[in-house]
Each structure stands twice: as C-alpha cells, then as structure tokens.
Structure 1
Amino acid sequence: MINLSKLSKIDFLVLISVVIIGLIHLPFPFSGDQALFTIGALEMQQGKVLYRDFWDLKQPGIYYFYFLAGNLFGFNEIGVHIFELIYMVFFSIILQLTLKTYFQHRIIASLVPLLTVSAYYISSYHRQFTQVEGLVGFPLFICLWLTYQSFNHEGKPRFIQLLISGFMGGIVLIFKLIFLPILLAFWLTILLHSVLIKHQKFQKIFIEICVPIFLGLIFPILVVVSYFAGVNSLSIVYKTFFVYPRQVVADGTFNISKLVFGTAWFLKNFVTLVLIAIVAVNVSLRQGKNLLTLLLVVWFVLGLGMIVLQARSLWSYHYLLLFVPTGILATKGLDILWQPFKELSSRRIKVLVSFLFLLPLLLNFQFKSVALVKNNFALTEETRFKYQTVFREDYTLLRSEISFLSQPGNLPGEIFVAGDPSIYYLSGRTQATSLNGWSLELFLSEQWPQLLQELDLSKPPYIFISDNDESRIKKGFPKILELIEKRYHILSKSNDGIWYILN
C-alpha cells in the first residue's frame, strides 16, 4: 500500500505542479499513432480481437492502455490524456516515496517528479504523448527499484521483491518485447553482485534469484497468451511478435537521418538534464560506487542501444525511453551540486544558473501555456479545436476533408484509409480491413495480397489514398489500385490525396 503520510509539504507542492502541467496538455491533439491506438481500442471494446480483426505490428500493451482509458474516460483526446495524467501522477508519488534515501538533501528528493514526469510533459507534443516509450518508464522503474532493493535482503523479502520485479518486467514486455535486454541487465547485475561481491555460491544464488523473477515474468505473459489462445489467434500473434519484425528489419535499411533527427530532438529538450546527470554519474560511481546509479546508467545505455536498433522506423518518441533515468540522474546531480550552489554569494548568479538549467523546458512550457490562454483554456469544442490546430495545422484540412462523411445521404459503413488514421478518428468511422494503411512502408510482400483480398470482400463505401501511399502501393502491389479503379470512381481530390466512392 502507498503511505501518503510519508510525503512532505514540498512533495505535495511538487505533485500539484505536476498535475497543473499535465492539465495544460489534456486538450492536445492526437497524432496518427494515437488515433490508430484509439480506433483499435474502440474496436476491441466492440468485440473485435486485436491482430485477428485489427492488426498492428506493436505488442498489445499500448492497446490495453487505450482500452482502459477509453472505457473509463472516453475514446477521445481528453479521455486518454486524463488517464495518462492519473498514471503519471501515480508514478510521481512512487518516485518520491522510493527515492528519498537516494538523495542527501530532502528538498532535492522532492523534485524528482519535476525532472522526470514534468520534463516528459513539457518536452512532448502530439507525436510523443501516450506512446509506448513514454508509458513504459513506470513499470521499468518499479522493476529496477525492486531489483535494487533485493540487494539488501534475503529469504522471503527478496523472493517477494524479485517476484514483483519479474511481474513488472512481464508488463514491460507486453508493451514492447525489444526491451528484454534492459530487464536482463537489471537482473544480471544482482546475480553478478551476489557472486562477485558477496561471494555467494553461483548455483544457490542463481536459483534464489531466477525462480521468483521467472514466476513473476511469466504470469502476465501467460495471461495474454491464454487470451489469444482462447480466441484462436496464437498463430497471427506469433508471426506479429517474432516473424514480421525480423523480416521488416531484414528488408529495410539503416535510416541515419531519422537517427540524427531523433537525437537532436532529445538533446534540444534534455541537454541540460543530460549534462548534470553526467556529473551525478561521475561522482556517484567513482566515489560512492552506488548500485542504483549503476542500474540507471545501464537503463540509459541499453535504452539508447535499443533506440539505435530501431533506426529503420525510428521516431523522436523512441527517445522517451530515456526520460526516467535521465531525470533521476539529473536530480542526483542537483543533489551533489546543491551545497556549492547555496554557497554562491550572488543571488543574480543563482537565478541565472537556474534559468539556464531550465531554459529548454521553459521555452516549450511558455509556448504551450500562451497557446492555451489565447484559446480560453480550450474549455469549449470550438476553442479546443483552435488550440489543437496550433500544434497540428493539418487538423483544419483533415476536418474539412472528412466533413462529407457526416452529411445526409452519405454511404454508411466502415471505410479504408491509406494514410493518417486521424481520418478514422475525426470521422467516427472504423476501418473496413484488419490491416491498416498507416505504415505501408513496413508492409511485407505477403501482406499486400491479404489487403487486396480484404478490400475485395469488405467493399468499403469510401477509400482514401494519400499521395505518398499511392506511390507505395504502385511499388508494392499495383493490383490494389487496379481494384479501386475498377470498382470506385473519384469523389474528390485534395492536396494530400484522393477520395474514392464505391460505384
């Protein structure tokens, strides 16, 4: 149970700040990814089975998150972001309660959520919010913390800690399997420490550590596997998790431009935190040999490696995998520098140093806050739409393009979009096929005939093909365009693509 009585007044002030910062972001628009997750979760709520009836390359964790958010607060931007805020505030409380002994100065320990969760909110825009890498930081931290705590315990307490650590590791894998090396590194660290530092017998300690971790790890995975076995979908799940990713990587090329762009985004927002975190790592590992610091460094380094491995489909939000270790280590750096900072004689210098430290985050926060105030805090549907177009200029174009779908006399039914899934979300229509048209560049050769077959059988009344995806379809499987030209005629053209209507 969480004991809130252990929180100080400063802790609560920090939590209130986190809530306020989070509230500013509730009306933020979805990007295509979030729109896809929302539509997928909505279809799950209507009885469809993930991967069988609605396919995506991602593991199911993100869809379960949106499913819970939608059922609790609504399948829309506000509903998803409210659930995300509750999730992040709960994470903030856990950070404050668990890390108090990690810092020398109590006031610094209270600030951890500001340099982690608040930094996540302030640095993120519509493309980064509520993505796997941002959400997975919570269970990853619990896994790391319990692994660290087990260093100092034996017997039943260690068993329980490692059991829950394994369980959290299972939750992480349900979000994304590629994070397994990070988890293994956490658990390998405790094994090596027990054998090399404490000189415990390898066979005995291996069993003591691995059994509870395995039991905890396998439980959430078995629950998911049992569900998909119950709906006769294990075959497609196996292919999605283990066959398709390998083939996608084999068919692709390393995208250096995406790597450079993503790294630039991360450094632009987190550069001061990274610099002060380096101070913490240098002092904490060289002088104190702190194991918690070591585990956080392992998380950062291996996390960076996982990001580079995804260079074919790398996006800026992948770097959110690093916001938790970066923020905690930056707070540790502040803890180390707190006494020299207090001894500065000039108040102006103190203010200047504080301003420079927070500058990257302050610029983002100012821009978002001003936009919210200018649009009357986005309290009505009209002002919310104006606020959203500040961050997604194409929202106006998208809404005008899909307006005909809600007019009297339009053809009812599910549609197909080769392009931004926001069209589904904004129009209130779901997709007519199990395969979505959001990531056609990652399609495998066997998926093109499947998409053709599904379009042939479902006969969606409307089809939208973006200009970019039209060229991909021509290159990947032109028979799809031949089917469309045979059964459909052009309804309208826009700067982004073509709407087709069934003959």
Structure 2
Amino acid sequence: MTSPDLRARPANRIPAVLCGVFVAFFLIQILTFDYGRDQGIYAVVARSILEGGMPYRDAWDFKPPGIFVLYAIARLFFGANDWGIRLLECLFLVAMCICIVRWAKKVFLPQLSGYFAIALAILIHAQLDFWHTAQPESFGGALTIFGLCTAPLFATDDRSPSRPLLRWFVAGVFFGMAGLLKPQLAFGGGLLVMLPLAARLLGKKLPFLQAFAAPKDGPGEWKSLFATGLGTIAPVALCALWFAAKGSLQDLYEVLFVFTPNYTKLGWQGLSPLDLAYNGVVDWFTGYSALVPLGISLLLLFAHRLSSRERAAALAICLLIALHLAGVVAQAKFFAYHYGATWPLTALLVGLGIALLWEQAIKASRWWIAAFALIVPLICFTRSATKGVPQSFLARTSIRTQALLSGGLTPQIRDELASVDGVNAGANRQIAQFFQEIDSLSPGKPLRPIFIWGFEPIIYDWANRPASTRYIYNVPQRAAWLQQTMRDRLMADLAANPPEFIIIERHDPLPGVTGNYLDSGDALKDFPELRSLIEGHYKQAFTHEDFMVLHEAAPPVAAAKPSPKP
C-alpha cells in the first residue's frame, strides 16, 4: 500500500503545476479548431432548431439528438461562428478536469493521479484535432466523468455519503444525458449502482469489493437502483416529449431505429464478433497513445501496493471502459472519435499507474526523478492520436502556436489546417462567399433557398442561405437502404421549395457511410428524377474546385465568382 506521507512531499507540487500548464496550453489549441464535415452538419441542424425546426424532420442527420442540442446551445449563447462550440467544449473539459482531480484525490492515495490523468486526457483530446473533437463522444466522456464523480460509490470515514439517493439520481441524469449523445453511455449509471449489490453477493470471495458495500444506515441497493434508473430515464423522457410536442417522434424513430442500424451493419461485413472485439480493444490499447499501455502495465505491476478502495475504483473504471468499447465494437467503424468518451476513463487508470511510478522515483533518488522527467514526456509523443491529416501533431501545434503569437490564425491557415480527407475548406468558404456577394447586391431582398447535392452542408451556414430540403447532405439518397423513399422525399421537398441555386459536388465518395464508392456526381447519373429537374430547369453558372454551381435562370454576374485560391 502507498505510504501516506508521500502525499505531503513538496516534490509533488512541480508536476502538478506542470500538468496544469500543459492542460491550459492544449485547451487554447482546441479553441482554434475549425469545423470538419460532421461539425458542419451539427451546426446546420442546430440552426434549424433555433429557427423552430426539429432534427431529422427539418434538418436530417442520423446522430442521436443530444449533439444537436449542444450545438444549438453554443449558437444561442456565442453566435453563429465556428469557435462557439469549441468554447463550450473547453468549458466541459475544464469541468471534467476539476472533477477528475477532486475524485482521484478522494479515491486514490497517490496525490498526483488526477493531475497525470487530466494531462493525458487533454493531450489525446487535442491530438484528435478538429475532425474528431466536438463530437458526441467528446461531450459524452465529460458527462460520464460527472456521473462517476457524483455516484456515492464509496463511504467516507465509515459513514454513508450525504443524500445518497439524490446523488444516485443526479448521477443517473448525467448518464442519461450522455446516452442522448451515444446510447451505450446511458448504461453507465446502472452498471455502477450494481456494484454495491455485487459487494453483498461476492464480498466474501472478493474482499476488495467491500469498498462498494452500502452502509447499514444507507437507503439500500434497490432504492439506489430505482433512483439511478429514474435519473437516467429523465433526460431521455424529456427529449421524447420534446419530439412528441413537435410532432417529430416518427422521424426520430425512422432515423435512429431504421436507417442507423443499416448504416451500422456496413462495418460487420466479412468480420466475426471476435474479430471486431479484437480490433476495438487493440486499437484502444495501442493505437492512440504509448502512455496507455505503459500506464496500465505500471498499474498491474504495482497492483500489490493498492488498497482495497483503489482496486475497487479501478474495477469500476474498467467496467465503464468495457461498456464504452462494447459500443465502439458494435458500431464496427473504429473512427478515431468513437473512442472519445473512453479517454478520460482510460486516463484515470493511466494516471494512477504513472503516479505510482513517480512515488517510486521520489523514494529512490534524484536520478530516478530525472529519468522520469525525461522519459515519460518523450513517451507522450512516440504515438499520437492525430490521424488522417497531412502534418504531424507537433507540426500542426507549431503552426497554430506561431499564428496565435503573431496575432491570430488567418483564414488561409485555418482553411489549410481544416482541409483533409477530401474536404477543401477553402473551396467551401469561397462558394459561400459567392452567395454572400450576390446577396449583398440586393440588401433586404428575401433570401431564396439553395440545394447542395454533396456532403458539405457547412456551405448553407457560411452562406447564410436556407436549405431547400431537410436533406442537408445526400448520404440518404446515395445509400443502398431506404434509397427510393429518401429520393422521393427529396424530390417532394424540392418541388415544394424550389432552390435558386444547385451545387453539385464531385470526388466525395464515402464507402464507409454509403456502402459504395460512387461520388455525388456519379450517384446523380443513377437518379433520373433529380437529373431531369436539373437538366430541364437549371443552367451551369460556373465551376470551382470540386463544385459545379447551377442557377435556375441566367447565370449570376461574373464579378461574383469566387476568386482562385492564392
């Protein structure tokens, strides 16, 4: 067991301060992140919500509704910009870091466990870069930590925590809110509340489970389970009531329980459940940070020094991680952001392992401390969570830092950093500027809708033009399942609300989403109804990068064409 006198060592102060500075630096980096495709979708749906519309019915996507509400909150308080959601994301992360440090101090004896944990959690979050952050999992991870820290799992000084039923209820609310972002996260509260029951049933065989034992003067396991379940159901029920009041329950059902399961099945083709599980666990353990296998190995190495309370806490964290990974494996896509909710929990385990190593070092000699201070930071950057971008994490961080020190990121730098995986952020912005310029020629004139046949809905938002249809991108019409139904609805939308302009995108194949390698241009050839509408009522105005812009009558003035990129 760890010696209590190590908690007061002055040598702990410097690492704690450095971890805090480390976290602050990368939070500033996160504030500079722009939108990727997904963030553009969420922003356009959020815009629809604030205009009185509903997700799925008025602005279509297949993610759970919680992420749209968060983007709407950011837009409501911080305006229609790219940085509002990043500010809200950082507020969540700061609150999460405070909870991790406070919880770790109460549960783990090594004082630095929480500080090392937040440093790793924020490092991985920043390494995921713009595309894989501000995702449902990004916020779901913080809400999971809030639920874990609220749950009255451990008694203090042989006494029951105050108001345990209320705390179980609030913990359930946090997990329920996380479930509105990613369904599997909702079960975290139910998993935790079962641990006191496990302590009663298995405590004699597994003595460390007694740390979960419900105090004799407490409410009992079944009341706690009811309180947690009620809390978990509460936000889900409120969301269902919101959709019911707006007459959109059928739209929600069709997207989440009909379209999305077919999308999920794409990743199962040719792989057994065992293959998928292996891929998911190995990817989590080795694919994003070298500190993860190191820290967990250290935790196992020093396991004999852990108290029963610490072992019980580690078990609770492992169970939540397993729940998260089960959801990632079930999705079978293994996108980087799918692990986003798991890193704060993983960081708690890794932070404990590294803190145990630190205490071993300060008990040994200054040479051990020096070796720790040199080797551990180096290991941080031997494997990065940054994926799918042209530059390394250190290079992108250097570009952002130099730009901030020089007065801020220019639009050109921002667009270069946000142009990855077939997305040309500069071209998107220039197409949007085209509409801004022609709209500025007729101030006060009502803005007519436009229609994008492609996968860049952010143009709607940047151009400040309404969409002609609920389908803000064309995956539903390109996917094999429900294709004709979705096409019929699209054509009905376009007939009821004819677009002034149609923008056709090329070179945007999405086999992981649509199940085929056709881009939007190729998919149009197999969509005779839309092709007939375009050929009969629209003329080409101009082409720019991967976009062809068509106008319903005469082409707009040439002066309004977007200028080439510098």
Give TM-score scaled by structure 2 length: 0.77
- The CA deviation string for residues 276-296 of structure 1, in whole angstroms up to 9 with x for no partner, is 123325644996551211121
Aligned to 1:292: 313
Question: 1:251 & 1:11 partners in 2: Cα distance?
Answer: 45
Q: Is 1:36 the counterpart of 2:41 in the alignment?
A: yes
Distance 1:215 1:413, change over 3 A: same
SS in 2 for 1:127: coil
Aligned to 2:561: none
Deviation at 1:225, TM superposition (A): 1.8
Aligned to 1:425: 461
Question: 2:290 & 2:419 partners in 1: Cα distance?
Answer: 26
Question: 1:35 & 1:483 partners in 2: Cα distance?
Answer: 27
Q: Is 1:415 the counterpart of 2:450 in the alignment?
A: yes
Deviation at 1:146, TM superposition (A): 3.5
Please tell me whether the aligned partners of residues 491 and 500 of structure 1 are also in contact (alpha carbons under 8 angstroms).
Answer: yes
Which structure has the larger Rg?
Answer: 2
Question: 1:378 & 1:187 partners in 2: Cα distance?
Answer: 51
Distance 1:419 1:245, change over 3 A: closer
Aligned to 1:321: 341
Aligned to 2:539: 489
Deviation at 1:231, TM superposition (A): 1.4
Letter in 2 for 1:450: R
Alignment of structure 1 residues 159-308 onto 2, 5 Å: 159-197=165-203, 205=220, 207-250=222-265, 253-254=268-269, 267-281=286-300, 283-284=302-303, 288=307, 290-308=311-329
Question: 1:163 & 1:210 partners in 2: Cα distance?
Answer: 9
Bigger CA drift: 141-150 or 289-298? 141-150
SS in 2 for 1:434: coil
Please tell me whether the aligned partners of residues 412 and 461 of structure 1 are also in contact (alpha carbons under 8 angstroms).
Answer: no
Bigger CA drift: 430-439 or 215-224? 430-439
Letter in 2 for 1:403: Q
Q: Is 1:461 the counterpart of 2:500 in the alignment?
A: yes
Letter in 1 for 2:482: L
- The CA deviation string for residues 139-198 of structure 1, in whole angstroms up to 9 with x for no partner, is 112223344626777697321221112111211112122334544433333432233327
Distance 1:384 1:24, change over 3 A: farther
Q: Please state which structure has a larger fraction of its residues in helix.
A: 1
Aligned to 2:403: 375
Question: 2:531 & 2:276 partners in 1: Cα distance?
Answer: 30
Question: 1:262 & 1:489 partners in 2: Cα distance?
Answer: 52
Deviation at 1:67, TM superposition (A): 1.2
Please tell me whether the aligned partners of residues 504 and 548 of structure 2 are also in contact (alpha carbons under 8 angstroms).
Answer: yes
- The CA deviation string for residues 350-369 of structure 1, in whole angstroms up to 9 with x for no partner, is 34422332224789663233
Q: Is 1:59 the counterpart of 2:64 in the alignment?
A: yes
Please tell me whether the aligned partners of residues 119 and 361 of structure 1 are also in contact (alpha carbons under 8 angstroms).
Answer: no
Distance 1:332 1:252, change over 3 A: closer
Please tell me whether the aligned partners of residues 285 and 293 of structure 1 are also in contact (alpha carbons under 8 angstroms).
Answer: no
Aligned to 1:3: none
Please tell me whether the aligned partners of residues 49 and 55 of structure 2 are also in contact (alpha carbons under 8 angstroms).
Answer: yes
- The CA deviation string for residues 309-332 of structure 1, in whole angstroms up to 9 with x for no partner, is 112x54221121221121111101
Distance 1:216 1:281, change over 3 A: farther
Distance 1:23 1:258, change over 3 A: farther
SS in 1 for 2:112: helix
Aligned to 2:139: 135
Aligned to 1:447: 486
SS in 2 for 1:500: strand
Question: 1:171 & 1:105 partners in 2: Cα distance?
Answer: 31
Deviation at 1:212, TM superposition (A): 0.6
The counterpart of 1:400, out of the listed 403, 408, 430, is: 430
Give TM-score scaled by structure 1 length: 0.86
Aligned to 1:331: 351
Please tell me whether the aligned partners of residues 34 and 82 of structure 2 are also in contact (alpha carbons under 8 angstroms).
Answer: yes
Deviation at 1:74, TM superposition (A): 2.0
Question: 1:255 & 1:267 partners in 2: Cα distance?
Answer: 24
Gaps of 5+ in 1: 1-7
SS in 1 for 2:449: coil
Question: 2:284 & 2:189 partners in 1: Cα distance?
Answer: 26
Aligned to 2:529: 479
Aligned to 1:5: none
Please tell me whether the aligned partners of residues 414 and 461 of structure 1 are also in contact (alpha carbons under 8 angstroms).
Answer: yes
Question: 2:464 & 2:300 partners in 1: Cα distance?
Answer: 49
The counterpart of 1:386, out of the listed 413, 417, 433, is: 413
Question: 2:161 & 2:107 partners in 1: Cα distance?
Answer: 24
Distance 1:463 1:156, change over 3 A: same
Question: 1:458 & 1:448 partners in 2: Cα distance?
Answer: 15
Deviation at 1:488, TM superposition (A): 1.8
Distance 1:348 1:17, change over 3 A: closer
- The CA deviation string for residues 406-434 of structure 1, in whole angstroms up to 9 with x for no partner, is 22369942222222223223323232211
Deviation at 1:107, TM superposition (A): 3.4
Distance 1:296 1:285, change over 3 A: farther
Bigger CA drift: 8-17 or 171-180? 8-17
Identity of aligned residues (%): 19
Question: 2:368 & 2:349 partners in 1: Cα distance?
Answer: 27
Deviation at 1:29, TM superposition (A): 1.6
Question: 2:45 & 2:270 partners in 1: Cα distance?
Answer: 28
Letter in 1 for 2:241: S
Please tell me whether the aligned partners of residues 372 and 378 of structure 1 are also in contact (alpha carbons under 8 angstroms).
Answer: no
Aligned to 2:3: none
Please tell me whether the aligned partners of residues 284 and 293 of structure 1 are also in contact (alpha carbons under 8 angstroms).
Answer: no
Deviation at 1:91, TM superposition (A): 1.3
Distance 1:481 1:187, change over 3 A: farther
Distance 1:66 1:379, change over 3 A: farther
SS in 2 for 1:248: helix
- The CA deviation string for residues 251-307 of structure 1, in whole angstroms up to 9 with x for no partner, is 775387999799769845323223312332564499655121112111222322211
Bigger CA drift: 439-448 or 328-337? 439-448
Question: 2:121 & 2:471 partners in 1: Cα distance?
Answer: 36
Question: 2:120 & 2:402 partners in 1: Cα distance?
Answer: 27
Deviation at 1:444, TM superposition (A): 2.4
Please tell me whether the aligned partners of residues 120 and 347 of structure 2 are also in contact (alpha carbons under 8 angstroms).
Answer: yes
Deviation at 1:11, TM superposition (A): 5.8
Please tell me whether the aligned partners of residues 179 and 185 of structure 2 are also in contact (alpha carbons under 8 angstroms).
Answer: yes
**Number of aligned pairs?**
491
Question: 2:291 & 2:66 partners in 1: Cα distance?
Answer: 32
Please tell me whether the aligned partners of residues 277 and 333 of structure 1 are also in contact (alpha carbons under 8 angstroms).
Answer: yes
Deviation at 1:66, TM superposition (A): 0.9
Cα RMSD after superposing both structures:
3.5
Alignment of structure 1 residues 70-109 onto 2, 5 Å: 70-109=75-114
Aligned to 1:436: 472
